[in-house]
């Protein structure tokens, strides 16, 4: 696990500001209120929505991190990485991973890394 001070946000390029977040929250609040949801249930749904949106707002792995992954691949032959946004305690989190994507280090695109997808990054040859 790689983190920076208990948080891995600095391993990503800066997110583009989401100008529509307040509008989206307002629409979701209205939608869930019409369904008769309790305030607590509504707040959980909004929180889940924001958590699920976090990866989409990122512009990908920081180029320096991607370079380190490529360097490690050259030194080790291959590196497997998974990006995961934790919603609670690390020790209690359950991961549901997608299909492994195998990619050559030279073709590894840090802007296209998907959440909960294992990437098997391999050295050429």
Q: How far is CA 64 from CA 9, 12, 60, 61, 78, in A?
A: 14, 9, 11, 8, 18
| DSSP bridge partners of 101 | 119
Long-range contacts (CB closer than 8 Å, 24 or more residues apart) made by 71-76: 73/105, 73/108, 73/121, 73/122, 73/123, 74/105, 74/123, 76/123
**Higher pLDDT among residues 24 and 74, named by residue:** 74
- Classify residue 25: in a domain, yes or no: yes
What is the per-residue pLDDT across 78-99, written as a single tens digit (0 to 9) for each?
999 988 877 778 788 888 898 9
Together in a domain, 79 and 98: yes
How many domains does the chain divide into?
2
pLDDT over 80 at 108, yes or no? yes
Gap between the Cα atoms of 104 and 108, Å rounded: 6
Together in a domain, 49 and 71: no
- Classify residue 5: in a domain, yes or no: no
Together in a domain, 75 and 118: yes
What is the per-residue pLDDT across 38-80, written as a single tens digit (0 to 9) for each?
888 888 888 877 665 544 445 678 888 888 999 999 999 999 9
> Residue 21: which H helix or E strand, with range?
helix 21-34
CB atoms near residue 119 (< 10 Å): 19
- Domain boundary, last residue among 6, 41, 57: 57
Together in a domain, 52 and 72: no
- Classify residue 42: in a domain, yes or no: yes
Together in a domain, 49 and 78: no
Gap between the Cα atoms of 99 and 119, Å rounded: 9
CA neighbor of 50 nearest in space, from 15, 92, 7: 15
Determine the structural domain holding residue 103 and report its residue range: 63-122
* Mean per-residue pLDDT over the chain, rounded: 80
- pLDDT bucket at 6, cuts 50 / 70 / 90: low
- Classify residue 13: in a domain, yes or no: no
């Amino acid at each position: 696990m790689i983190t920076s001070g208990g948080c891995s946000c600095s391993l990503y390029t800066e997110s583009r500001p989401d100008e529509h977040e307040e509008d989206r929250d307002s629409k979701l609040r209205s939608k869930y209120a019409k369904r008769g949801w309790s305030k607590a249930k509504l707040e959980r749904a909004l929180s889940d929505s924001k958590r699920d949106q976090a990866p989409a707002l990122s512009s990908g792995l920081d180029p320096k991190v991607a370079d380190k992954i490529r360097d490690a691949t050259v030194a080790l032959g291959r590196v497997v990485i998974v990006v995961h946004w934790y919603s609670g305690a690390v020790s209690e989190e359950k991961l549901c991973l997608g299909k492994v994507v195998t990619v050559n280090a030279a073709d590894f695109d840090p802007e296209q890394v998907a959440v909960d997808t294992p990437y098997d990054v391999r050295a050429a040859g």
